[in-house]
Amino acid sequence: MLAGKRILLIVGGGIAAFKIPELIRALRGRGAAVTPVMTRAAEEFVTPLTLSSLAGEEAHRHLFDLSKEAEIGHIQLSRAADLVVVAPATADLMAKMAAGLCDDLASTLLLATDKRVLVAPAMNVRMWDHAATARNRATLAADGILFAGPNSGDMACGEYGPGRMAEPAEILTAIEAALAGGPLAGRHVVVTSGPTHEPIDPVRYIANRSSGAQGTAIAAALRDLGARVSFVTGPASVPPPAGVEVIRVETAREMLAAVQGALPADAAVMAAAVADWRVANAAGSKMKKDGSGRAPALDFAENPDILATVSRGADRPGLVVGFAAETDDVVAHATAKRLRKGCDWIVANDVSPATGIMGGAENAVTIIDAAGAEDWPRLPKDEVARRLAARIAAALG
């Protein structure tokens, strides 16, 4: 897939830059040509000689290189690539991209390119969670920038959380997906996945058994067909796929806000197992037993209906797909749910304990739309995802 492709690889100044030699080796091993570009800060973590030796091409560093600017070298670099990859994409580089600043070679190339751009963010967890970075992420996603990661994990600074750069193998997968094209190229799809956690107090919460495996597989399948995927996930037990924009949430209300922030989109696939209720009187500190033998009284409030809100909202995607996890009268309940929520399709499945589907590796679904119900055999969740993605691609034309 990468044979003959040219990657313009912009290396930002972060400790994750030490992984870039491995990425260059992997790209060249797949037949791609790699042109490295380094920010000044990147040179503090990896040397130009290392990258140029591995790439077999000069590692470009300076905007005003007279031997190249005679031929407007930065324009040529930005246009000659099949894909521009920014890794690590630091908070500073992402801010420059969002604002359209261009005060060095890397940022000038990013503003001058007419090719797709894939970023692999890497920064401290506090920087990733900062409101300014969140705004920049939203701006870049709206501009069509593709994301690989970041992952959650240990940081070089000793902290733990989201902001760790995706591994080279994950970035390679995202690059292949970005160059694959496919029937959903140019389309934007929002996918929700995983459970939500509704707090009782700071250490306890109400949740469900969803692993997030089916939603994750759907996001990956849509990505593989060329879609730009905004993946809104609760605290799932499976990692998110590479090559999608990952938006992590905890509660149903956070998920609704994230989905609305990701719109507009061509399609929305609401695969998350969202809690119907939350604790209205959640405690601000850990609840203690008082020795009376009586449990504390919990008052419940209904959570927002994300599927109905998206289906009936002003920014309604052209295709809205809901999910119905039922334990009895599956088709009847799911059919009623489709009409009640206002979505186009419902993917219904039987999650009664005997099926082993909730949290398992397989799924057996029925697709319900205006024409009726279509039963699918029991299949691995990856295959269910591929079939559903193909059906979505056909529906979007």
* Active site (catalytic) residues: 157
In which element (H, E) is residue 162 found?
strand 160-164
**DSSP single-letter state for residue 195:** B
The helix/strand/coil state of 326 is strand
Give every CB contact of residue 113 below 8 A, 6+ residues apart in sequence.
Answer: 8, 78, 79, 81, 84
Distance between CA atoms of residues 330 and 349, nearest Å: 7
Distance between CA atoms of residues 305 and 290, nearest Å: 36
Burial readout 249-267 (b: 16 or more C-beta within 10 A, e: otherwise) = bbbbebbbbbbebbbebbb
Distance between CA atoms of residues 83 and 114, nearest Å: 9
Distance between CA atoms of residues 111 and 216, nearest Å: 32
Query: Which residue, 44, 37, 134, is CA-closest to 85?
Result: 37
Distance between CA atoms of residues 38 and 17, nearest Å: 10
List alpha helices for 59-182, DSSP H.
66-69, 73-80, 91-99, 105-112, 125-129, 131-142, 168-180
* CA distances in angstroms from 144 to 170, 230, 282, 349, listed in the order given: 20, 11, 39, 33
